[in-house]
């Protein structure tokens, strides 16, 4: 088994694209990755001993103050690690999983970058090979909503506050529409980000919305009050689930129920598409965590691994600065 970076000139490029398409790996698709500066996004293939593509992942690189940083691609849930485990026995499956993560940890370590901070998919529960190489492994959390429940059960499972907000939005005449107007959705998202002083990588946000808003791999909802757009959500369809990516609000003309009602309609849309889950993608911010929690999903852990070289770590602490 080995890991190789793949670009359009690679002998593995076409086989990797076929593998990604066959397994519906949305956050590995070219139409997703093309939204990033191409000199900053990297895609890798995992190859078996016969040079067959059996897996893949991506990561994002940037420079700041002469240091190089490697992170999960912005707005991707994780590094998109996916692979096919050919083993049938429990021991065989566990050993193969271990070998995958060992190769992954070795690959990132060999890049010799002073800062690495990546999210692993929820399915990866073994981070020992990373900890053995000096990485900090820590849990983060998301909420995953099971869409097999009836619409009535999903409604009953909402927090009382959420049901009140949706009912109030209806009473106040808010109109919720599915849209492909990427400029409108972008304007609402940017308002929210700028209001919270976290408006980073805005060109990537715009690229994602422009390239995917009219495609079958995504959907957006906008809430209108008296004809004015006051809230929006944007979700990606990834294999068997919908993933919440962006949300935004009009802070000058906001309505308490706008974002909640857009999210509720997004959940119903995902169910109508026959998807199994709605993934809120979570947050470690207490206020945002509570907002997601009240939609009734199951708290779902995933792993983040991080390694920072001592000199850079000291500098970041002195400046009290988080580069991502």
Give the burial string for 295-309 (b: 16+ CB within 10 Å, else e): bbbeebebbbbbbbe
CA distances from 172 to 7, 223, 258 (A): 52, 12, 11
22-35 pLDDT, tens per residue? 999 999 999 999 99
pLDDT value of position 321: 63
Residue 118's beta-bridge partner residues?
A: 305
Q: What 3-state class would DSSP assign to 179?
A: strand
* Tokens of residue 132, six digits: 């053995």
- Cα separation, 114 vs 112, in Å, equals 7
Domain 148-275 belongs to what architecture? 3-Layer(aba) Sandwich (3.40)
Do the domains 2-140+302-319 and 148-275 sit in the same CATH topology, yes or no? yes
Identify the burial level of 173 via C-beta atoms within 10 angstroms of its C-beta, where 0-12 means exposed, 13-18 middle and 19 or more buried.
exposed
Question: What residue spans of 116-273 are helical by DSSP H?
Answer: 128-132, 151-157, 160-171, 182-195, 202-212, 258-272
Residue spans of the domains in the chain: they are 2-140+302-319, 148-275
* Tokens of residue 40, six digits: 């900053």
pLDDT category of residue 199 using cuts at 50, 70 and 90:
low
pLDDT value of position 101: 97
pLDDT value of position 58: 98
| Terminal CA-CA length for the chain | 32
pLDDT value of position 324: 61
What is the phi/psi pair of residue 13, to 5°?
-60, -55
Q: What is the mean pLDDT of residues 225-236?
A: 93
Please report where in the chains the tokens 């499972």 appear, as a residue. 157
- Cα separation, 36 vs 208, in Å, equals 9
* Tokens of residue 234, six digits: 């944007």
Contacts (Cβ under 8 Å, ≥6 apart) of 186: 205, 206, 209
pLDDT category of residue 272 using cuts at 50, 70 and 90:
very high
Contacts (Cβ under 8 Å, ≥6 apart) of 286: none
pTM, rounded to two decimals: 0.90
Q: How many CA atoms lie within 13 A of 230 on its CB side?
A: 22
Q: What is the mean pLDDT of residues 219-234?
A: 94
Cβ–Cβ < 8 Å for 19, 13? no
- Cα separation, 158 vs 192, in Å, equals 24
What is the phi/psi pair of residue 259, to 5°?
-65, -40
Which has more pLDDT, 287 or 28?
Answer: 28
Q: What 3-state class would DSSP assign to 211?
A: helix
134-179 pLDDT, tens per residue? 999 999 999 999 999 999 999 999 999 999 999 999 999 999 999 9
Query: Among 3.30.450, 1.10.287, 3.40.190, 3.40.630, what is the CATH number of 2-140+302-319?
Result: 3.40.630
Q: What 3-state class would DSSP assign to 99?
A: helix
Q: Above pLDDT 70, what percent of the chain? A: 96
The least confident of 24-28, 248-252, 319-323 is 319-323
Give the range with max mean pLDDT: 65-69, 194-198, 235-239, 260-264.
260-264
Res. 91: pLDDT tops 70: yes
């Amino acid at each position: 088994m080995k890991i190789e970076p793949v670009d359009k000139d690679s002998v593995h490029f076409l086989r990797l694209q076929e593998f990604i398409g066959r397994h519906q790996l949305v956050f590995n698709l070219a139409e997703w990755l093309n939204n990033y500066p191409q000199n900053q996004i990297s895609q890798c293939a995992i190859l078996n001993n016969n040079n067959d593509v059996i897996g893949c992942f991506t990561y994002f690189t940037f420079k700041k103050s002469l240091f190089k940083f490697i992170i999960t691609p912005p707005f991707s849930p994780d590094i998109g690690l996916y692979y096919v485990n050919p083993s049938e026995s429990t021991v065989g499956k566990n050993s193969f999983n271990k070998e995958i993560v060992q190769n992954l940890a070795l690959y990132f370590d060999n890049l010799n970058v002073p800062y690495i901070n990546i999210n692993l998919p929820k399915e990866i529960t073994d981070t020992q090979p990373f900890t053995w190489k000096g990485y900090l492994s820590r849990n983060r959390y998301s909420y995953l909503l099971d869409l097999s429940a009836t619409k009535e059960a999903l409604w009953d499972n909402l927090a009382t506050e959420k049901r009140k907000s949706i009912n109030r939005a209806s009473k106040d005449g808010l109109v919720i529409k599915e849209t492909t107007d990427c400029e409108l959705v972008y304007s609402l998202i940017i308002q929210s980000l700028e209001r919270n002083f976290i408006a980073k990588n805005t060109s990537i946000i715009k690229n994602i919305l422009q390239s995917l808003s009219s495609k079958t791999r995504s959907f957006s909802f906008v809430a209108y009050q008296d004809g004015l757009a006051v809230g929006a959500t944007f979700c990606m369809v990834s294999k068997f689930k919908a993933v919440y990516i962006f949300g935004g609000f009009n802070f000058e003309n906001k309505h308490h129920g706008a974002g909640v009602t857009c999210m509720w309609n997004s959940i119903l849309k995902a169910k109508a598409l026959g998807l199994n889950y709605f993934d809120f993608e979570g947050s470690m911010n207490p206020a945002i965590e509570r907002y997601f929690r009240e939609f009734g999903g199951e708290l779902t852990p995933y792993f983040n691994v991080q390694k920072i070289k001592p000199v850079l770590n000291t500098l970041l602490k002195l400046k009290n600065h988080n580069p991502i």
